[in-house]
Amino acid sequence: MPNINFSQSLVALAPLAGFTDLPFRYICKKFGVDITFSEMISVNALIRDSKKTFHMLKRASNEDIYIVQIAGSDINNIIEAVKILNDIEGISGIDLNCGCPVPKVVAQDAGSSLLKDLPHMAKIIEAIKKHSAKRYTSVKTRIGFSEKTPEIIAKKIEEAGADFISIHGRTRSGGYKAEIDYDAIKRAKECVKIPVFANGDITTYEKALEIRNFTKCEGLMIGRGAVGNPWIFYQLKHNQKNVDKSFIKLIVLEHLQLMIEFYGDKMGVILFRKHLHAYSKSFPQAAMFRHKVNTILDTNEIQKEIERFFI
């Protein structure tokens, strides 16, 4: 597997539970994204040997730099999970989730909860680094739990031995809607030597360039801005403001096909609905289309609707 070339302007697909599965990562990779992250994988689920978890971990055939993100807090469990991942081929690195705001995760002292106990967070990073046989150990964090302390967090992550950091420019209290603090990301970037990815509300080519220039980060990480819009990676890799969207129907059909292969007929169609909603957003009659596809379970029927709708 190739190393990450941090000297070029990088773009990464953010981990998004429920979205960045193998089919979607394959599509984003086709559009040139450099680094892909799995959906968050619970360390406990991984240890319990859950079949579903192993399915979630599969790498798409075109993913060359594929990072698996884990969420947990207990060091022994984390080490056990790392050892399981060591035996799975095709994984470039292990990323520690220090950003998840979901109460269930926070209650287990995982995700963004780790930002309340930085010495413990550091011990986890050190343990991953020590036991992982993968090339990269990385961390995805927010800029604080309640208070903004981006410099302190970034320094601690670097000292613990992480190879790079992705920073979502909100605190845990900021959820997913507070205004992104790009200045906090920039300050964190300035106080560490390891590469930093800036993350949060990067939804257009223009905004991506602006954030890249402002933060001077080695990379940008894009999540929701890529859902229904995976060609944002092509725009950034090829420096193109406008893309020809006449091929959207083909992409949507290919994405559907991959979903069916990965999840099976009925589940593939059901799980594809949220992507169809996103793909159809800027088209006329999108609301009617969304309403219609919400009731379809049959593969051929959904395919016909897609062919009719995306002209």
Ligand X SMILES: Cc1cc2nc3c(=O)[nH]c(=O)nc-3n(C[C@H](O)[C@H](O)[C@H](O)COP(=O)(O)O)c2cc1C
Shortest Å distance, C-beta 299 to ligand X:
25
91, containing H or E segment: none
- Residue 132 touching ligand X (CB under 6 A): no
Task: Mark 63-82 with x for binding to ligand X (rule: CB under 6 A) and - for no binding.
Answer: ------x-------------
Total number of residues binding ligand X (CB under 6 A)? 22
- Residue 181 touching ligand X (CB under 6 A): no
- Residue 222 touching ligand X (CB under 6 A): yes
Residue closest to ligand X, measured at CB: 223
**Under 8 Å between Cβ of 156 and 141:** no
Active site residues: 100
Cβ burial of 253 (10 Å; 0-12, 13-18, 19+) is middle
Identity of residue 269:
V
- Residue 158 touching ligand X (CB under 6 A): no
Q: What are the two backbone dihedrals, phi and then psi, of residue 119, each rounded to the nearest 5 degrees?
A: -60, -40
- Within 10 Å of residue 291's Cβ, how many Cβ atoms? 9
Shortest Å distance, C-beta 244 to ligand X:
24
- Residue 224 touching ligand X (CB under 6 A): yes
Q: With the CA atoms of 99, 100, 103 and 105 taken in that order, what torsion angle do they form, in degrees rounded to the nearest 10?
A: -110
Q: Which of 144, 219, 223, 230 binds ligand X (CB under 6 A)?
A: 223
Of 131, 130, 97, the closest CA to residue 114 belongs to: 97
- Residue 211 touching ligand X (CB under 6 A): no
Residues that bind ligand X (CB under 6 A): 14-18, 39-40, 69, 97, 99-100, 140, 168, 176, 199-202, 222-225
